[in-house]
Amino acid sequence: MKITRTEVEHVSRLARLALSAEELDSLTGEMDAILGYVEQLATLDTEGIVPTAHAVPMENAFRPDEVKVGFTAEQALSNAPDAAESAFRVGRIIE
Amino acid sequence: MSQSYETVIGLEVHVQLTTNTKIFCGCSKDFGQTPNSQTCPVCLGLPGALPVLNQQVVELAIKTGLATNCQIAPRSIFARKNYFYPDLPKGYQISQFELPICEHGWLDIDLENGERKRIGITRAHMEEDAGKLIHGDTPQTAGNSLVDLNRACTPLLEIVSEPDMRSADEAIDYLKKLHQIVVYLGVCDGNLEEGSFRCDANVSVRPYDQEEFGTRAEVKNINSFRFIKQAIEYEVERQIDLIEGGGKVVQETRLFDSDTGMTRSMRGKEDAHDYRYFPDPDLVPLVISPEWIEKVRATLPELPEVKRGRFVEELGMSDYDAGVLASDRALADYFDACVALGSDAKSCANWIMGEILRKLKETDTEITDVPITPELLTGLLARIADNTISGKIAKTVFEKMWQNGQSADQIIDAEGLKQVTDSGAIEALVDEVVAANPDQVAEYLGGKDKLIGFFVGKVMQASQGKANPGMVNQLLKKKLTGN
């Protein structure tokens, strides 16, 4: 097994996904198969190769520090399921 | 009982960088605007939007790294820090993890006993800020939280210290020093209340004979130097009480409540530290050449510590005076400008730390907006030095100057404040005063020497403060004793 049901449960909680027992079972099987497939990469000899942070051989893509007009508050909120007082309205978050 | 425990503190400081725009998009980052009016697809985390790094953020990060004795990484990358919270629209924060831009720095702090202590800086990395959550309190919003994403994607430099501090006071010394440097560099406006300079403290205690660190708690939500001290002191006491009572410190995040002066545990922290970092495929690696570093190094201003040393060594100032003047870059620049114009360093320092600072405070003015320019102050000091006016009259001239911005000479002429140094004129006033106060003269001659002050006061009054006090003194003594 590349991944256990407990790990899948933990990751689903991190991702805020409420999964049923059946879903956890089937996902554990699917994720295990995916990880097993990717595992083939581990057979390659990567000795002396710098870990790849990016697939495109490119560096230093910059933007000048100049203000660009973006959205108005109305535009920003136009797709929000709920809004009030120029803000996205969500359930109360208590710290 | 706290004598048998040692406090260990490490600090994480979030410095908001003074760019015009956000770190990965061109939105303005002005504070206090209408919620969500400074947003775009990138900082709202809309699907398909791509971040592009603001070059100025890199410049400011290098600058800060150099000023805090860090090594600048020739190659660094950005990572995604994954967690779910409504103020984080993408579900991850773009930060730096295994390859930060700055590492292995340090700052020296001056301890109370006069010793110097080196505090290590583990790393400093660039990242984006989250949005802001407002807890609704109007009929329309009660029971809800409101999300404002204006602050989302604002550039931060997180500066992480080694656990090198051993008391709340040391922690405050380090923070003040770091604060002074970032403000001096102009990389941060230093406003604690608006959250431009935020501090999280990692606090633990251990018995003195124990080698390994105790379990630490991370205290968040502290927005003034005073509160940081309070929060650390409370936390130290809480942990010692816990251990003494047979309990155990749990590794957790705690919030400081400035109303009660206490820290309390944050709810739902069990998964808080499982961030599943991985390199952000939306951003290419950052490569910084030695040439780039040297170019930035050339723009570094003289730092407070160096400035202070120069004031002491080159201008012969006391360590205290030098420290006050060097503490604020604008104030130090003002002082330097006066000295460059020919002001005497010592009297100039006295006037700046006395009258100028008092007046700035009274009128709630910043030194950068002071109506008395270095030229004007230098002109005033010159008139005191050449005895045109006394130190007392100089204060009157100073007040006028503050109001109308005229030169000392203009004010002295217009108001007729020129000091009387004509001995004939002073002598006439002395004669008048002596003749008008026969009783006091008799007493003085009878041995009551202190009365000299009375006569000087009378003569100064008669001259409307313009007589040269030294000459008045001399002439009076001569007249009264007849030699």
**Domains of chain B: residue spans and CATH:** 2-295 (no CATH), 304-415 (no CATH), 423-481 (1.10.10.410)
Say yes or no to pLDDT of B85 above 90. Answer: no
Say yes or no to pLDDT of B238 above 90. Answer: yes
Q: Rounded to an integer, what distance in angstroms lies between the CA atom of residue B397 and that of residue B59?
A: 45
Identify any residues that bridge with B76 across adjacent strands, giving them in sequence order.
B286
Q: Do B86 and A93 touch (CB under 8 A)?
A: yes
Enumerate the residues of chain A whose CB falls inside 8 A of the CB of residue B150: none
Average of per-residue pLDDT across B212-224 = 88
Is B77 in CB contact (< 8 Å) with chain A?
yes
Say yes or no to pLDDT of B394 above 70. Answer: yes
Q: Which pLDDT value is given to residue B447?
A: 86
Enumerate the residues of chain B whose CB falls inside 8 A of the CB of residue A3: none
Average of per-residue pLDDT across A17-39 = 94
Mean pLDDT rounded to a whole number for chain B: 90
* pLDDT band at B483; cut points 50, 70, 90: low
Q: What ipTM was assigned to the predicted interfaces of this complex? A: 0.89
Enumerate the residues of chain B whose CB falls inside 8 A of the CB of residue A87: 35-36, 134, 146-148
Q: Rounded to an integer, what distance in angstroms lies between the CA atom of residue B235 and that of residue B256?
A: 9
Under DSSP, the state recorded for B463 is T
Q: Do A63 and B144 touch (CB under 8 A)?
A: no
Average of per-residue pLDDT across B328-348 = 92
Query: Which of A59, A62, A91 shows the shortest C-beta gap to B285?
Result: A59
Q: Shortest CA distance to A80 belongs to which of B35, B31, B49?
A: B35
* pLDDT band at B391; cut points 50, 70, 90: confident
Specify whether the CB–CB gap between B202 and B163 falls below 8 A: yes
- pLDDT tens for each residue of B164-204: 999 999 999 999 999 999 999 999 999 998 899 999 999 99
Q: Rounded to an integer, what distance in angstroms lies between the CA atom of residue B67 and that of residue B305?
A: 11
Average of per-residue pLDDT across A25-54 = 90
pLDDT-wise least confident of A43-57, B149-163, B375-389: A43-57
Specify whether the CB–CB gap between B61 and B29 falls below 8 A: no
Is A81 in CB contact (< 8 Å) with chain B?
no
Q: Shortest CA distance to B356 belongs to which of B314, B401, B386?
A: B401
Q: Which pLDDT value is given to residue B282?
A: 94
Q: Which pLDDT value is given to residue B209?
A: 85
Q: Shortest CA distance to B264 belongs to which of B233, B307, B231?
A: B231
Say yes or no to pLDDT of B267 above 60. Answer: no
Say yes or no to pLDDT of B1 above 50. Answer: no
Q: Rounded to an integer, what distance in angstroms lies between the CA atom of residue B145 and that of residue B90?
A: 18
Is A57 in CB contact (< 8 Å) with chain B?
no
Enumerate the residues of chain B whose CB falls inside 8 A of the CB of residue A65: 19-21, 54-57
Map B291-308 to HEC letters: HHHHHHHCCCCCCHHHHH
Say yes or no to pLDDT of B431 above 70. Answer: yes
Q: Do A90 and B28 touch (CB under 8 A)?
A: no
Fold of A1-44: Histone, subunit A (1.10.20)
Q: Which pLDDT value is given to residue B46?
A: 95
Average of per-residue pLDDT across A66-94 = 92
Q: Which pLDDT value is given to residue B470?
A: 82
Enumerate the residues of chain B whose CB falls inside 8 A of the CB of residue A95: 255, 266-267
Q: Do B133 and A59 touch (CB under 8 A)?
A: no
Neighbour-count burial for B425-448, b at 16+ CB within 10 Å, e otherwise? ebbebbeebbeebeebbeebeeee
Q: How many CB pairs under 8 A join A and B?
A: 148
* Among chain B residues, CA nearest to A88: B147
% of chain B exceeding 70 in pLDDT: 98
* Among chain B residues, CA nearest to A78: B36
Q: How much is the pTM?
A: 0.82
Token digits for B178?
Answer: 């770091």
- Cα dihedral across residues B456, B458, B461, B467: positive or negative: negative
Token digits for B362?
Answer: 């009274």
Q: Do A63 and B52 touch (CB under 8 A)?
A: yes
Say yes or no to pLDDT of B418 above 80. Answer: no
% of chain B exceeding 90 in pLDDT: 58
Average of per-residue pLDDT across B104-116 = 91
* pLDDT band at B438; cut points 50, 70, 90: confident
Enumerate the residues of chain B whose CB falls inside 8 A of the CB of residue A60: 284-287
Average of per-residue pLDDT across B451-469 = 85
Q: Shortest CA distance to B470 belongs to which of B436, B428, B419, B397?
A: B419
Average of per-residue pLDDT across B129-144 = 86
Average of per-residue pLDDT across B386-400 = 86
pLDDT-wise least confident of B81-95, B383-397, B411-425: B411-425
Q: Do A59 and B144 touch (CB under 8 A)?
A: no
